[in-house]
């Protein structure tokens, strides 16, 4: 008998089928957070060590973090930034993708994906998603190609890599740049290769909720050595020498050689990142175990369909998204979110399709009807808590709450 069945509810509660939203006693007495970074002594010590060096800017720790990250992903280069968005902005510029160009990306993603394209002055073209994986559908991407298309930007959503061979074939056929939104994909693999090494270049996010974090931060990975100089220069005000190389015994003049931004990571963040990167294998093991366990346990709730990726991929298990099967419940997704929160289970939605956002409608002039699969699925989509500080018992609570809700509100 699965463990959660044994734990279902203490005696007096078991007889009460009412969800907490309907007056029942919440399954948990305290909220289970939806996402939490795992930070420990290693990060503390790494930060203190940097503080004591007196060098907080971009310096040796950043260089070390870049080398370690590139080695982990299997690319020749990595360039540390202040965010995924900064990294993707730099990449689009490095590929000379700007005004007049179109970049095809997915309709289900965080708005940052399209914002980076807008920052570069190009036009994001939102294509529809695969109804089961919820990632960019290669057929829809192909149908969106025009003479102005310069790049395809698939998003490895939830930690599942996209089927990149399909996009690689499209990119080769039409001479397009293939960029990866690997914001959620640290640790994912596709056909044995790491996310971040599957296109011409990739950007990762190291934001607090990601599989590894530097607080705020990002990392570009690429084999394109010819781009790296420009990426580094535009990352720091467009000057050709970073501060760590401008001080010391010999003074070297620096020169502003182009327009640039303030997108450079500092050594404090990199020190945290190095400690996190060393823990990534353990984090992945735990995340994948929780992911597999959710799939086993949720198989008993026919109203719910967990999202997964291609069979020849290994997920980074960043998020655990679930679709409500059409017509299976008397309540909609938003009521389900309320019901879970009433049971003290944290929730998320990743994501409402972009055309549901005013900014997207105003900027691109498109509505949800343009991407019908994304619009339908994202209205039935929610995410369950998944992080390394969760115990199996915490996870059992989530499943119990879902069982109670699914039974009570069954259609």
Ligand X SMILES: Cc1ncc(COP(=O)(O)O)c(C=O)c1O
Residues that bind ligand X (CB under 6 A): 83-85, 109-110, 112-113, 155, 181, 183-184, 205, 207, 218
The H or E element spanning position 152 is strand 149-153
- Distance between CA 95 and CA 351 in Å, rounded? 28
* Of 26 and 218, CB closest to ligand X: 218
Omega of the bond leading into 351 within 30 degrees of 0 (cis): yes
Pairing status of strand 313-314 against strand 304-306? unpaired
Q: Where are the beta strands (DSSP E) in 155-275?
A: 177-181, 189-190, 193-194, 201-205, 218-222
* Of 207 and 409, CB closest to ligand X: 207
* Of 184 and 276, CB closest to ligand X: 184
Query: Shortest approach of ligand X to residue 369 CB, angstroms?
Result: 23
- Helix axes of 392-408 and 267-298: crossing angle, nearest 10 degrees: 50
Query: Shortest approach of ligand X to residue 119 CB, angstroms?
Result: 11
Tokens of 227: 């781009």
Query: Shortest approach of ligand X to residue 101 CB, angstroms?
Result: 19
* Of 127 and 339, CB closest to ligand X: 127
Q: Which residue's entry shows tokens 């060590």?
A: 49
- Distance between CA 231 and CA 196 in Å, rounded? 16
What Rg value do the Cα atoms of the chain yield, rounded?
Answer: 23
* Of 6 and 262, CB closest to ligand X: 262
Within 13 Å, how many C-alpha atoms sit on residue 277's CB side? Answer: 25
Q: Cβ-count burial of 175 within 10 angstroms (0-12 exposed, 13-18 middle, 19+ buried)?
A: exposed
The question of whether 245 is a catalytic residue gets the answer no
- Is there a contact between 203 and 218 (Cβ–Cβ < 8 Å)? yes
Q: What are phi and psi of 104, to 5 degrees?
A: -90, 125
In the sheet that holds 304-306, the strands lie side by side as 304-306, 320-324, 381-384
Torsion of CA 282, 287, 293, 299, to 10 degrees: -160
Query: Shortest approach of ligand X to residue 133 CB, angstroms?
Result: 14
Collect all residues with Cβ–Cβ distance below 8 Å to 314 and sequence separation of at least 6: 188, 189, 190, 288
Query: Shortest approach of ligand X to residue 253 CB, angstroms?
Result: 33
Of 3, 6, 139, 210, the catalytic one is 210
* Of 58 and 85, CB closest to ligand X: 85
Nearest of 270, 233, 316 to residue 69 by alpha carbon: 270
- Distance between CA 140 and CA 128 in Å, rounded? 6
Query: Shortest approach of ligand X to residue 106 CB, angstroms?
Result: 9
- Is there a contact between 54 and 176 (Cβ–Cβ < 8 Å)? no
As annotated, the active-site residues are: 210
């Amino acid at each position: 008998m699965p463990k959660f069945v044994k734990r279902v509810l203490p005696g007096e509660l078991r007889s009460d089928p009412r969800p907490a939203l309907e007056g029942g006693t919440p399954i948990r007495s305290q909220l289970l957070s939806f996402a939490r970074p795992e930070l420990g002594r290693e990060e503390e010590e790494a930060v203190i060590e940097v503080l004591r060096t007196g060098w907080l800017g971009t310096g040796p720790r950043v260089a070390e973090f870049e080398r370690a990250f590139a080695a982990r992903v299997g690319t020749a280069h990595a360039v540390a930034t202040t965010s995924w968005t900064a990294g993707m902005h730099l990449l689009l510029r490095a590929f000379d993708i700007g005004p007049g160009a179109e970049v095809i990306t997915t309709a289900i993603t965080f708005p940052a994906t399209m914002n980076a394209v807008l920052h570069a002055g190009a036009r994001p073209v939102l294509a529809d998603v695969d109804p089961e994986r919820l990632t960019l559908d290669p057929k829809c991407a192909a149908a969106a190609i025009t003479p102005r298309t310069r790049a395809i930007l698939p998003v490895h959503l939830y930690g599942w890599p996209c089927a990149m061979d399909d996009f690689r074939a499209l990119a080769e056929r039409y001479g397009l740049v293939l960029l990866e939104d690997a914001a959620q994909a640290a640790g994912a693999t596709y056909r044995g290769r790491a996310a971040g090494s599957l296109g011409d270049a990739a950007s990762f996010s190291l934001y607090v909720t990601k599989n590894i974090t530097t607080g705020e931060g990002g990392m570009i990975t690429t084999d394109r050595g010819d781009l790296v100089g420009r990426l580094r220069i535009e990352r720091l005000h467009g000057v050709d020498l970073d501060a760590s190389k401008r001080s010391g015994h010999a003074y070297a003049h620096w020169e502003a050689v182009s327009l640039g931004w303030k997108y450079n990571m500092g050594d404090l963040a990199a020190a945290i990142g190095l400690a996190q990167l060393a823990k990534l294998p353990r984090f992945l093991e735990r995340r994948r175990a929780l992911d597999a366990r959710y799939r086993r346990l949720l198989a008993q709730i026919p109203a719910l369909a967990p999202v997964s990726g291609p069979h020849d991929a290994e997920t980074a298990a960043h998020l655990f998204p679930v679709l409500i099967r059409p017509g299976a419940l008397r309540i909609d997704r938003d009521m389900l979110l309320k019901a879970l929160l009433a049971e003290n289970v944290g929730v998320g939605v990743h994501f409402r399709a972009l055309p549901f956002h005013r900014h997207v409608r105003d900027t691109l002039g498109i509505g949800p009807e343009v991407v019908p699969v994304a619009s339908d699925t994202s209205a039935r989509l929610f995410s369950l808590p998944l992080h390394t500080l969760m115990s199996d018992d915490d996870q059992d609570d989530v499943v119990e709450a879902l069982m109670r809700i699914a039974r009570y509100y069954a259609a």
